[in-house]
Amino acid sequence: MEDYKNILCATDFSDHGRAAAERAANIARRYGAQLTLLHVVEYFPEDRSNVEITPENVDPAVYREQQANKLLTELAQHLAYDKVAQAVRFSTRSATQEIVHFAGEQNIDLIIVATHGSHGITSTLGSTAYGVTHRASCDVLAVRAAKS
């Protein structure tokens, strides 16, 4: 097995995603690898979220990208690792598909994603972590949520 050189951590900015990013940074440090933090915005205009309201005078895509970049920067600073790149991708595809596609484009050799825990096979089947694990052509580490 070769050392990992390009590690991708996909994050949704949840506590679980933060734990996965911390694990990714630790692994990157051990291998001296490049770490890329990726946030995918599943952009379907007809499915706009009511959770985050864009200011009236700002393009929603620009606003979401700015917010994601801000959160990625904060996460990168928290990780305190000097080989961190950041990327935000808008996609008309699912996050799973975009993560796998991005990994292929960037020659990623390890993808790290958070799993929100296992509550039976039916909840796992639809998860991003499950999809990435089964579609990626490189190694995938699914970081399990800490049990309370």
In three-state secondary structure terms, 87 is strand
The predicted-structure confidence for 89-103, as pLDDT tens digits, reads as follows 988 888 999 999 999
What is the spatial distance between Cα 139 and Cα 146, in angstroms, rounded to a whole number? 22
Please tell me the predicted confidence (pLDDT) of residue 106.
96
What is the spatial distance between Cα 131 and Cα 96, in angstroms, rounded to a whole number? 6
Q: What angle do CA 136, 139, 140 make, to 5 degrees?
A: 75
Between these two residues, 122 and 105, which has the higher pLDDT value?
Answer: 105
Q: Which CATH superfamily is domain 7-144 in?
A: HUPs (3.40.50.620)
Cα distances from 28 to residues 57, 67, 80, 95, 136, in angstroms, run 40, 25, 12, 23, 19
Please tell me the predicted confidence (pLDDT) of residue 103.
97
What is the spatial distance between Cα 62 and Cα 54, in angstroms, rounded to a whole number? 10
How does DSSP assign 20-41, residue by residue? HHHHHHHHHHHHT-EEEEEEEE
Between these two residues, 30 and 147, which has the higher pLDDT value?
Answer: 30
Please tell me the predicted confidence (pLDDT) of residue 54.
65
- pTM, entire model: 0.84
Percent of the chain with pLDDT over 70: 82
Q: Which two tokens stand for residue 98?
A: 């975009």
Secondary element (H or E) of residue 112: strand 110-115
Domain extents in the chain:
7-144
Give the list of residues 6+ apart from residue 147 with CB closer than 8 angstroms, or none: 117
The predicted-structure confidence for 37-73, as pLDDT tens digits, reads as follows 999 987 545 445 545 666 777 777 788 888 899 999 9
